[in-house]
Structure 1
């Protein structure tokens, strides 16, 4: 099959800087994949969320929607493309494990048009059978199945790769802002130790920080009506990365005196690979997450945050 449509959009997403063009490319891809799979972001009849011991695996339609967040899709594809090429400078073939593919395999499928099956081998992991079936349909339709070693219907937070199938690159974007509800941290804890020496996990690092904000100013800033939202940085409260895999971590944050901002919010930065970064308001993963309001001002001296693992991961907090 002629995959020129897919390849052209991949090239746009890797190279284009004009937001309107990138947005159009992701919308076109979403419609194209929906035509192949029958699964679109508006279709709620194609399965439900799956609740796991490590968090929520989102339904196929919700996973499909992620493609339309154009900055999110672009930055991940750019980082993954660079990581693949960096490793191909060292070896002839790269084994990629993609955990949480959704119905389209959004973060790798477009890139396959730029490589050969001799260069890239895939292990594709998905917990939702509807999503995995759709992904197999995509690869069969596009004649990309020769890239795939295995399609695995399993939980990426517990799966153990065979000793002879350790990964050069592992991709998993299974998260919400402030690392809540979904199993990103648990998947990283399980899969990062299974990387080959010199391997790469994508994203390489996720950092959550607490800041004091005024949500009126935040809204004005997003609407282009203000130049500065006037946030007050407090402290990084959690970092999970390829080199640091904390579990349940408690952090105490001091609240300064004499502040005018009275809302505490969490901000998520995602370091995909090298200089490919998603930061505040780039996509839904980077939207400020409201924690609490300090009212009256000066009534709180400290906030203690604790990241909790389990069926509903996320931050708990206490005011002091």
Structure 2
């Protein structure tokens, strides 16, 4: 078990990070927190390669663990979870602890588990799901060192197979099983699967919007260029509570949006997907703030120049991603 003075360091780091308003200083504090946290894990290096399951791409424990160093992402998630748990505790009248379900938690559970030191066992408990046994072992070691073994329950396997026990219905579902443009990973399908079992649960992120813009690559991807030359066609897909609950569980497809094709496009413009991640009210990950929100080039149908509209849908099955058809109306 971690000695009290060292646990105090952890508590102080989290409080400092949550209270710091300057993004640069907050990221530096978050880096210290991440380094402290992963030092508890003792995760053995492994050379697993990403694999595909029924829910899409599954990162290796090493790759999932490295995501912790996306500092803006990590601290904003922690802040969103902290604010949501605190609000739930204020609103709950049954005196039961807030229960968080965290699929795809990786070897560190970094987006939720550090907050356990700020809340008592009567306030917060966490259920974890991860595909890899190595990640589960790492999580259990961290919790044992902190003396928090009784605050988590771990399930190994694909989150799409997970059935929430009636006695463990979550108040909050926290996940980050995604890449830019909601490509490849199973974030949408897994959130649908879990939310339909616990429809009253709060989602973090509460919304992920994908928009299509034509961009000038000379300005868009030049970090020294402040003026971006874009033609934005608008929102093409949104994952949120309503769209997940309305999705057909027997179909791999979810309905997207329809956008008009411009009459004229500059020859040098290329189509890109922009990802906006709304974690909770007042907290978001915006374009270029993290790898998850860096625009990605998107291949439109070859016939799109002859079309009037582009019709989008989302494949939440094997090899998840945005689909597009060009329609001449």
**TM-score past 0.5 threshold:** yes
Q: Does 1:240 align with 2:247?
A: no
Q: Judge conservation of contact 1:96–1:121 (CA < 8 Å) in 2.
A: yes
In structure 2, what is the equivalent of residue 20 of structure 1? 24
- Number of paired residues? 312
The structure 2 residue matched to 1:118, chosen from 108, 118, 122, is: 122
Q: Provide the secondary structure at the position in 2 that maps to 1:122.
A: strand
Distance of aligned partners of 1:240 and 1:196 in 2 relative to their CA distance in 1, 3 Å threshold: closer
C-alpha distance in 1 between matches for 2:255 and 2:139: 36
C-alpha distance in 1 between matches for 2:137 and 2:66: 17
C-alpha distance in 2 between matches for 1:238 and 1:294: 17
| Unaligned stretches of 5+ residues in structure 1 | none
Offset at residue 196 of structure 1 (A): 6.0
Q: Does 1:219 align with 2:226?
A: no
Q: Judge conservation of contact 2:14–2:33 (CA < 8 Å) in 1.
A: no
Q: Judge conservation of contact 2:54–2:317 (CA < 8 Å) in 1.
A: yes
Offset at residue 251 of structure 1 (A): 3.9
Distance of aligned partners of 1:196 and 1:167 in 2 relative to their CA distance in 1, 3 Å threshold: farther
Offset at residue 72 of structure 1 (A): 0.6
Q: Which moved more, 1:129-138 or 1:302-311?
A: 302-311
Q: Judge conservation of contact 2:212–2:234 (CA < 8 Å) in 1.
A: yes
Q: Judge conservation of contact 2:43–2:107 (CA < 8 Å) in 1.
A: yes
Q: Provide the secondary structure at the position in 1 that maps to 2:221.
A: helix
Distance of aligned partners of 1:294 and 1:129 in 2 relative to their CA distance in 1, 3 Å threshold: closer
Q: Judge conservation of contact 1:67–1:73 (CA < 8 Å) in 2.
A: yes
C-alpha distance in 2 between matches for 1:190 and 1:129: 22
With structure 1 as the length reference, what TM-score do the two structures score?
A: 0.89
Q: Judge conservation of contact 1:30–1:68 (CA < 8 Å) in 2.
A: yes
Distance of aligned partners of 1:50 and 1:209 in 2 relative to their CA distance in 1, 3 Å threshold: same
In structure 1, what is the equivalent of residue 250 of structure 2? none
In structure 1, what is the equivalent of residue 159 of structure 2? 156
In structure 1, what is the equivalent of residue 294 of structure 2? 287
In structure 2, what is the equivalent of residue 314 of structure 1? 321
Distance of aligned partners of 1:187 and 1:126 in 2 relative to their CA distance in 1, 3 Å threshold: same
In structure 2, what is the equivalent of residue 60 of structure 1? 61
Q: Does 1:136 align with 2:136?
A: no
Distance of aligned partners of 1:250 and 1:171 in 2 relative to their CA distance in 1, 3 Å threshold: closer
In structure 2, what is the equivalent of residue 274 of structure 1? 281
Q: Judge conservation of contact 2:238–2:256 (CA < 8 Å) in 1.
A: no
With structure 2 as the length reference, what TM-score do the two structures score?
A: 0.87
Q: Judge conservation of contact 1:211–1:266 (CA < 8 Å) in 2.
A: yes
C-alpha distance in 2 between matches for 1:90 and 1:249: 35
C-alpha distance in 2 between matches for 1:21 and 1:47: 34
C-alpha distance in 1 between matches for 2:51 and 2:299: 29
In structure 1, what is the equivalent of residue 39 of structure 2? 35
The structure 1 residue matched to 2:193, chosen from 190, 194, 197, is: 190
